[in-house]
Amino acid sequence: MFWKYDPLELTSAQRVELFSLARTTLAEYLKTGTLPDYETDDPVLSRRLGAFVTLKKDAEL
C-alpha cells in the first residue's frame, strides 16, 4: 500500500515554532554534534514528516 501525502495547513504560530526548532537544532548540532530534545502537544507538529532546508550565508548557498 502506498502512503498518501496530506499537505499541512500550518498556523503562523506553528510556522514560528518550526523555524525556531530548525534554528535551534542546527545551532546545537554544529556546536555539540547532538540533536536537542523536542516535545510538543500540538498534533500537527507531532506528525513524522521530512523537511527541506536551504542554508545561506550572506545571501549565498
Whole-structure pTM value: 0.70
CA-CA distance, 41 to 53, in Å (whole number)?
24
Residue-level pLDDT at 1: 63
Mean pLDDT in order along the chain per 10 residues (61 residues)? 77 93 92 94 86 85 86
Residue-level pLDDT at 7: 76
Residue-level pLDDT at 6: 73
Query: Hey, what's the torsion of the CAs at 43, 44, 49, 52, to 10 degrees?
Result: -140
